[in-house]
Chains A and B, each alone.
Chain A
Amino acid sequence: MFDLVFNAIYFASYSNFYGLGNISLSSFDILLAYIVAIVCSIIVALVLRLPLLPSKPYRYSFDVSALYPTPIIAISILSIFLVLNYSFMYNGLVLAIVIGVLSALFVKYLFDFVFPKPLDENAGEDINE
């Protein structure tokens, strides 16, 4: 009667399963929207004076930079919109630009508030040993 797992998977994959996902968008449009989102987010992040590369031994990703969290947040938010079948105007290009700008703003101003750094300096050390 009410199969939760089936319903959840059915709902999540509905548009894809029946080939309805973004029926107006070709795959080239989707690729173009992804590229626009990546480039736009990197450029806006550089304009906001984030560093291009993370700090040198590439182990500590809490330092935000233009290349590491910004494009990834941008393309994943964009793919959530694409999966939900919402592509605004001009084959999703406007949506890609808006998401790119917003994700760069998020990384610059809100990132430390949403994902705070760990409190103690020696993360990864034991308490008593």
Chain B
Amino acid sequence: MNEVIGIIIATVLCLLNFIIVDTYFGLPEQPGVRGARIIGKDVEKRGGDIAGGFFQGNILCSPDASAGTLMASIGYLLLGIPGGIIAALLVFIGNRLCADPGYAGTTGCLTATTIIFLTSFVGFKPEMFIVGMVIAIFIIMGIDQARISVVLGKIAKKFNRYARE
């Protein structure tokens, strides 16, 4: 498969994976760790949405499904499917170190391993998912935080996981 097309599709798959898993496990609802609330308030002050701000803060401050997707693709590149599962254990330990109560990281890791395994039949490589995940995190955090947080807030409302504040 052409690399550029593969990277673009992998970016979309990574975005779908970690946004769905993170939103389902309630990242926009409440800040799981201390720094997330500060980032959420700051994004709201700059004209964003509080739920999207919590989402971005949780992604930044503790390993969630975004870190899980990235580490699963790296593990899959190195060691195949067992690597993806070992990455789940590493994300789990990271969650405990950050005192982050949440299921998103481990679940996202396992779903990402499944996605990479299934798409490997079509010709995707784990390298494409590593690059795609970096681009996906850049889209979420780097370009325009306030506007993206509004979009994330709308997604959170769709999932009935809006911030309870």
Contacts and interface: CB of A to CB of B under 8 A. Distances in A.
**Chain A binding surface, main DSSP class:** loop
A118 to B, nearest CB: 4
The 5 closest A-B pairs by CB, nearest first: A79-B82, A76-B89, A118-B99, A115-B96, A60-B101
Interface stretch (B24-32, B133-141, B146-154): B24-32
24 contacts: A12-B78, A12-B79, A16-B78, A16-B80, A54-B103, A59-B32, A72-B88, A72-B106, A72-B110, A73-B89, A73-B92, A79-B81, A79-B85, A83-B86, A123-B33, A123-B99, A124-B30, A124-B31, A124-B32, A125-B34, A125-B37, A126-B34, A126-B38, A129-B37
B101 A62 contact: yes
B103 A82 contact: no
Contacts of A69: 92
Contacts of A101: none
A66 interface: no
A82 B89 contact: no
A59 B86 contact: no
Interface in A41-100: 54, 58-62, 68-69, 72-73, 75-77, 79-80, 82-83
A77 to B, nearest CB: 7
A95 to B, nearest CB: 13
Interface of A: 9, 12-13, 16, 21, 54, 58-62, 68-69, 72-73, 75-77, 79-80, 82-83, 115, 118, 123-127, 129
A9 B127 CA distance: 14
Contacts of B32: 59, 123-124
B95 interface: yes
B6 interface: no
What DSSP secondary structure best describes chain B's contact surface?
helix
Contact of A61 (B31, B85, B102): B102
A80 B103 CA distance: 22
Contact of A76 (B25, B29, B37, B88): B88
B36 interface: yes
Contacts of A124: 30-34, 36-37
Nearest to A9: B78
Given A115-B96, A123-B33, A83 B25 contact: no
A5 to B, nearest CB: 12
Contact of B80 (A21, A58, A61, A72): A21
Contacts of A58: 25-26, 103
Contacts of A62: 101
Contacts of A83: 79, 82-83, 86
Contacts of A118: 99
